[in-house]
Structure 1
Amino acid sequence: MKDAKRSGYIDQVPEFPKLKGKNKVVAPPIRYISPADQMRIIEKIPQKHRPIFLFMMATGCRPAEARALRKSDIRGDGKIWFEVAFGRGEELKTVKQAKSGYFPITEEVQQIFDQQPRNLTQWMFPNPTTGKPYTKNINRIWNKACDDAGVKRINLYNATRHSFACQMLNNGTDKGLVSRLLRHSDPRMIERYAEYEEDPLRAAVEKVRRVDFTNKMQTNNTGDKNE
C-alpha cells in the first residue's frame, strides 16, 4: 500500500485493521535456493542476458535496482551506490534514503562489470536486444530458464536477494553484516531470513563444545567398573 501511495495510484494508505484475540499476521516463509541450483538455471539463460542475473546473485540487490543501475552509481572508491530503482509503473524513482547505501565491489562483481560492453549508454546492464533497461519481462527469461533447468520455479526476488541472504547466513556470516549488505531500513528484518540448514547449525554447536564428552564418558565408565 505504501508503494502504491508513493507511485500515485492511491491518495492515502488505508488504516490497517486492528487484530483481536488469537488473530495475528503470519509472514510468508522465505524461499531460497542453493548456489548449485542458481548455476543450473544460469546455464539455461542466453549468455547475452547472464550478467545482470549474476550481478543480482553476487550482491543481493533488488531486481528493480539492478535494472536501474547506472554507470554513475559505480564510484571510484570501490563502492556501488544503489540510489534509484524502477517503480511498479516502470518509472525511475529515488530509493528511500533509509535504504540507499553502498555495496563493496568484490572480485566477483568486478569480473561481471569487466564483461560489459564499452558503450555510451548510461545503464550498467542494458538489455542487449533493445539497448534499453530491462523491463519486468526479465522475469520471463528467468522462469523459462528454471523450466529448462528442471528446477522448480522460484521468483527472481527470492532466487537472488533472499538466496543471497540465506546463503550467507548458512555460511556463518553475522546477521548484522548481512543486514548491512542488504541495506535494510529496519535491522530486525534480517530475522525473517534466519532459516538455517542443518549442517551449519551442527557446526555452530560444535564450535562452542567445551568438553570432550567421549573421553569424559569413558572415564566415568571406567570409574564405575572399578567401584
Structure 2
Amino acid sequence: MAREFGRVRPIPGARKGFEIDVRPYGRIREIPMEGGRALRLNVEVLASEVLASIRSAIAEGLSEEAACAPYVRSRASVRAKLPTWLEHMRALDDAGERSPSYLRELERYAAPGGHFDFIAEHSVFELRFKHLEDWSVWLARDRELGPKTRRNVLGAFSAFLNWLHRRGEISDVPPFPEISVPRHLPKIISIDAQDLVLAEIPAARVGIFYAQAELLIRPGEARAYNVADYSWKTHELRTAHAMKGLTAGSPRRSTKEGDACVHHASERLAAWLEEHVKQAARIKGTRALFLNPYTEDRWSYWAMRDTWNAAAARAGVPGTKLYEGTKHSTASALRAKGVPLDVLQAAARHQDSRSTEIYALLGNSAVVDALRRRKET
C-alpha cells in the first residue's frame, strides 16, 4: 500500500509545536492568516487537520505542490518559478526562436526592483484577476507606466503563466485586465517628398532606403538581406530574416511573422544593385546585400536612422521618421490608389485587419505594379 502524503511530527529540538513534513515541498509550521499574520501549529490536532485538508485537495485532483502552496508560499511563489522560465527563454534565444531584445526585457522585468516585484511573492496557485488588476493599477500609479508598456509587462507575465499551465504546473490561467492602448497613426509624407529625401542620400548609400520605400519592408529586414537572397536574373528578393537588435553585429534571425515571402525589386532598386554590388561580391552568399560604405559592414539601425534624418532635414521635411517616411508613406499612397485592403492584409501576413488599415502594409509584387501605375498617372 502506498504511503500517504505528508506526516505530522513534533518540531525537532523544540520544546513545543508541531510541523507537517511535506518534502520535497518543505515543512509547514504555521498557517498564514489575513494581514500577514500566522497561526503556529502548537497543537497536534490542528496540524493533523491541515494535513487532512492537503490530502483531500490532492484526492480531488490538485497536484501535491498546488495543495501545499497556501502553506509553503516561498517554493510556489512567482519569484521562485521565474528563474526556470527565464532559463527556458534563454534556450529559445540560443536556438534563434526568440529575440535577444525580448529576452532582455523579460530579465529586466523579473530582476529585483523590476516591474514584476509587485506580484513576485504571490503563489502562482493563488493568482486571480484581482491580483493582476491591482498590479496594473500599481504599474500605472506608482511606476508611472503608460498603457503600452503596462500591456507589454502583463503580456510577458501572461506568457509565463501560460508556460506553467502547458507544463501542467498550474491548473488554469486567470483572466488578465484589458488595457486600452491609443493607436499610433504614422506621420506620413507624400511620395514627392519621399523622393526628395531619397535624392538627398548619397548614391552609394541609398539602396537600402529604396528597398524600404518601394518594397515596404521593415528596417530590420532590409538590414538582414544577404547576397544569396537576391536573384540577379529574376530580380526577386527573398525576405526570410530580420536583424534582432540595433547594431551591425546583432543576430540575424527569422522575420517577425516567422515566415518568408518574395518581393520583386523595382527597376530603380535593381539598377542600384547592379551598379553597387560588385561581381566579385555576388558569389559570397552570406555577405550583406546592402553594405554601409563607410564601415564596409552591415548597416546598424542607428547609422540608417541618422542617414535618413539628415536627408529629411536637407529635403525640408525634418522630423519624419525612417519607418514612417518609407514603408508607411508608400503604403498609404498605395491604399489611396485603390489597392484592396484584403490584398494588403494577406501580403502583410496580418491576422487583424485593423493593423492593415492603420499601417497599410504590402509585401509582394503588387507593390511594383501599383508603383508603376502611380508613376504613370
Kindly indicate whether residue 299 of structure 2 is the aligned counterpart of residue 134 of structure 1.
yes
Is 1:155 aligned to 2:321, yes or no?
yes
CA distance in 1, matches of 2:188, 2:198: 15
Code of the aligned partner of 1:190: T
Matched residues, percent identical?
20
CA distance in 2, matches of 1:106, 1:41: 18
Secondary structure class of the residue paired with 2:196: helix
C-alpha contact (below 8 Å) 2:288/2:298 kept by paired residues: yes
Instruction: Give 1:167's aligned amino acid.
Output: A
1:109-162 alpha-carbon deviations (Å, 9 max, x no partner): 322322223142521111112111111121011111111222131111111111
- The 1:180–1:77 alpha-carbon spacing in structure 2 relative to 1, beyond 3 Å, is farther
Q: What corresponds to 2:157 in structure 1?
A: 14
Closer, same or farther: CA 187–24 of 1 in aligned 2, 3 Å: closer
Matches within 5 A, 1:87-126: 87-88=244-245, 90-96=250-256, 98-118=258-278, 119-120=280-281, 122-126=287-291
How do residues 1-227 of structure 1 correspond to structure 2 at under 5 angstroms? 6-7=99-100, 8-9=103-104, 10=106, 13-15=156-158, 18-19=177-178, 24-75=180-231, 78-88=235-245, 90-96=250-256, 98-118=258-278, 119-120=280-281, 122-136=287-301, 137-181=303-347, 183-186=348-351, 188=353, 189-193=355-359
CA spacing shift, 1:169–1:130, aligned 2, 3 Å: same
Q: Secondary structure at 1:47's aligned position in 2? A: coil
Seen in structure 2, the aligned counterparts of structure 1 residues 40 and 165 have a Cα distance that, compared at 3 Å, is: same
Preserved contact between residue 99 and residue 185 of structure 1 (Cα < 8 Å): no
Greater CA drift, 81-90 or 69-78: 69-78
Contact 2:212 / 2:222 at 8 angstroms: preserved in 1?
yes
5+ residue gaps, structure 2, are 1-92, 111-155, 160-175, 361-377
Q: Which one scores higher on RCO, CA 8 angstroms, separation ≥ 6?
A: 1
Letter in 2 for 1:94: S
What do you get for the CA RMSD once the two structures are aligned? 2.7
Q: 1:109 to 1:48 in 2, by over 3 A?
A: closer
Q: Any gaps of 5 or more consecutive residues in structure 1?
A: 195-227
Q: Per-residue displacement from partner, 1:163-196 (whole Å, max 9, x unpaired)?
A: 1211100111112223344x334251212136xx
Q: Please give the alpha-carbon distance, in whole angstroms, between the structure 2 residues aligned to 1:68 and 1:163.
A: 22
Q: What TM-score, normalized to structure 2?
A: 0.45
- Please name the residue that 2:138 is paired with: none
Amino acid at match of 2:338: G
